[in-house]
Structure 1
Amino acid sequence: MTKALIIGASGGIGAALASRLRGQGADVTTLSRREDGLDLTRPETVADHAARLKGRDFDLIVNATGALVIDGHQPEKTMDAVDPQAMAAQFALNAIGPALVLRDFAPLLARDRRSVLASLSARVGSIGDNGLGGWVSYRAAKAAQNQILHTAAIEWRRRNRHAILIALHPGTVETPLTRKYAARHPTITPERSAEALLAVIDTLTPEDSGGFCDWKGQVVPW
């Protein structure tokens, strides 16, 4: 039986992932800020929840946390709109938070078989794919998350040869996070995203560790 941990399980994608995995017969553990007090901007809560799960060996850990709008700060349209506090908040949740997940939860990955830690990133975090500009803080925080995960994967090749660490773009998903900004882009439901993400995860090998791909399995440029 697959043992899975979904971090951010109260959000649209996280809830859909947990539901689909349970439907497949997996043993699913869920954590979220809303239900469990796991707040990626408070390092002590991350360490505490990871310590409570010590001794578990997960086949799959998914970090499904993230936010586009924090404390009412909308994505910037120009550099003139950059606010240091708003940018710091984006990095705290969307870059430092995933780093804490990697630090504290990656040791819970199974060591005697294939295991995956996937962190939801965003295509707008791609430097190579950025032809529009804007959204400075969110883009930069997601790009930082990608670098953090890629760096961690290099270390984890030495620590756990069965582990795969991957950044995933879940698509433009119909959630409160994207509703205001997705009018000109095709969207998919959280359920479709979860189905597609799990299908991609099933195809991954250790050679893919440290990579960045989308919900269709296509590599996203850094």
Structure 2
Amino acid sequence: MNVLVIGSSGAIGNAIARQMYKAFPQATVYAVSRKATETDGGQANFKSIQLDTTDEQAVAGWLAECKQQDMQFHHVVCTTGILHDGEVQPEKRLEDITPEALQHYFAINTVLPMLWVKHLVGLFPSEHSTLTVLSARVGSIEDNGLGGWYGYRASKAALNMLVKTAAVEYKRRAKHTSLICYHPGTVDSQLSEPFQRNVKPEKLFTPEFTAQQLVAIIQQRKVDHSPYFLDWDNKPIPW
């Protein structure tokens, strides 16, 4: 059994990789990131893979090598994403929108995960498996009463649509695989740090908590109901 965590050097990605290692002790966990990922003690069945997750050629090449070795992944989680960095900040009003910021949001939050969804389609087993991407409640088109955060909202909504569309094809090509868009809640991480002031303490989660919730959720999925858009409490979110 193999598990793949993409973006494992981030707070959530690292916590998910560690939780996968605990939840599936018989599995080999592949932790992919641009920086090496470590666990306590350097266990033999925890593999840190350094790879530019934004480079389609690098992604396709590594997954082709996996396929040549007859590797399959039972559970895959793509944790990459941005809300703010040196190039973008969430927009508060229409005047804040720029083409460059929108392109940056879409490149990281939408295009990058879909490259993995694209190239992974032939690497799942003929038994139940899962492919999860980190989405966000604010990516729900229906559940948007506050506005703002144009680029982040739109890039996550686009990711949801692409995953929902891919699920149609996965039903033919990887019919035992459930596709999941997961909202982890507000997690105490670098991504959410500037926006935590108005978050109630009980709603600010540790990376370890949201990782535990996700692992519990993927163990309950049924492919007949794929794709899913779920929050950390296993409750559905309107698309």
Give the TM-score taking structure 1 as reference length: 0.95
Is the CA contact (8 Å cut-off) linking 2:122 and 2:173 kept in structure 1? Answer: no
Q: 2 CA distance for matches of 1:211 and 1:23?
A: 24
Is the CA contact (8 Å cut-off) linking 2:76 and 2:131 kept in structure 1? Answer: yes
Please tell me the residue identity of whatever aligns with 1:145. L
Is the CA contact (8 Å cut-off) linking 2:7 and 2:13 kept in structure 1? Answer: yes
**Please, what is the CA RMSD of the aligned residues?**
1.2
Aligned to 1:51: 64
Aligned to 2:79: 64
| 2:176 is equivalent to residue 159 of structure 1 | no
Query: Shift of the alpha carbon at 1:50?
Result: 1.6
Aligned to 1:181: 195
| 2:100 is equivalent to residue 101 of structure 1 | no
| 2:2 is equivalent to residue 15 of structure 1 | no
Q: Count residues with an aligned counterpart.
A: 219
Structure 1 unaligned regions, length at least 5: none
Per-residue displacement from partner, 1:70-115 (whole Å, max 9, x unpaired)?
43321000011001011101101111111101011232111x2101
Map residues 174-213 of structure 1 onto 2, 5 A cutoff: 174-185=188-199, 186-213=203-230
Query: Shift of the alpha carbon at 1:34?
Result: 2.2
Moved more, 6-15 or 20-29: 20-29
Query: Shift of the alpha carbon at 1:172?
Result: 0.7
Please tell me the residue identity of whatever aligns with 1:27. T
Is the CA contact (8 Å cut-off) linking 1:75 and 1:138 kept in structure 2? Answer: yes
Query: Shift of the alpha carbon at 1:44?
Result: 1.6
Is the CA contact (8 Å cut-off) linking 2:105 and 2:152 kept in structure 1? Answer: yes
Please tell me the residue identity of whatever aligns with 1:28. V
Per-residue displacement from partner, 1:137-159 (whole Å, max 9, x unpaired)?
01000000000000000111011
Query: Shift of the alpha carbon at 1:51?
Result: 1.8
Among 161, 182, 185, which residue is 1:171 paired with? 185
Aligned to 2:39: none
Q: Give the match's secondary structure for 2:195.
A: coil
Please tell me the residue identity of whatever aligns with 1:13. I
| 2:89 is equivalent to residue 85 of structure 1 | no
Q: Give the match's secondary structure for 1:77.
A: coil
Is the CA contact (8 Å cut-off) linking 2:87 and 2:101 kept in structure 1? Answer: no
Is the CA contact (8 Å cut-off) linking 1:172 and 1:188 kept in structure 2? Answer: yes
Per-residue displacement from partner, 1:21-41 (whole Å, max 9, x unpaired)?
21231321110122313232x
Q: 1 CA distance for matches of 2:112 and 2:89?
A: 20
Identity of aligned residues (%): 39
Query: Shift of the alpha carbon at 1:129?
Result: 1.1
Per-residue displacement from partner, 1:30-69 (whole Å, max 9, x unpaired)?
10122313232x2222212222321211110110111111
Query: Shift of the alpha carbon at 1:128?
Result: 1.1
Is the CA contact (8 Å cut-off) linking 1:58 and 1:109 kept in structure 2? Answer: yes
Per-residue displacement from partner, 1:156-207 (whole Å, max 9, x unpaired)?
1011221111111111111100011122122100000000011111110012
Is the CA contact (8 Å cut-off) linking 1:116 and 1:201 kept in structure 2? Answer: yes
Per-residue displacement from partner, 1:111-137 (whole Å, max 9, x unpaired)?
x21010011111111111111111000
Structure 2 unaligned regions, length at least 5: 37-49
